[in-house]
Amino acid sequence: MDSEHMRGFVERLDEINALADQAPGFVWRLQSDDGDASSIRVFDDPMMMINMSVWKDIESLKNYVYRSIHVELIQNRDAWFNKITSKHQALWWIPKGHIPTEQEGKERLEYLEKHGPTQQAFTFAKSFNHQ
């Protein structure tokens, strides 16, 4: 995160996090005392970051991710991040008021990698209704 290579991404973190915090449907996001999650490590690979948030519904999250300036980071991710060949994003339903842990996020991602999209963990492309 301190390298010149990551500067463009790091410079936009506060802006993008503030955008999420104010977005319709936003409930919570994982963050350190510094206000972002870039220093939180849960994976064996030190180059892997975790980013978790809770949203009221999938549509609110989808609007933030793909219909706000956040999409600029997605479009430029190859400039900052190595290509990931395994699953890198998992969605799942949680009970109202529950805040997921980093370990829970890691386990859902591993479940998705192993089993594909199910009610336990899914993707935007293959989602499941809340039960």
Domain boundaries, the chain: 4-84
pLDDT at position 8: 66
Q: Which residue stretches of the chain have pLDDT < 70?
A: 1-3, 5-6, 8-9, 73-82, 84, 131
| pTM of the model as a whole | 0.86
pLDDT at position 130: 83
pLDDT at position 105: 97
> Which CATH number is 4-84 given?
3.30.70
pLDDT at position 80: 47
Residue 130: which of 78, 61, 77, 56 has the closest Cα? 56
Provide the CA 95 distance to its chain's centre, in angstroms.
Answer: 18
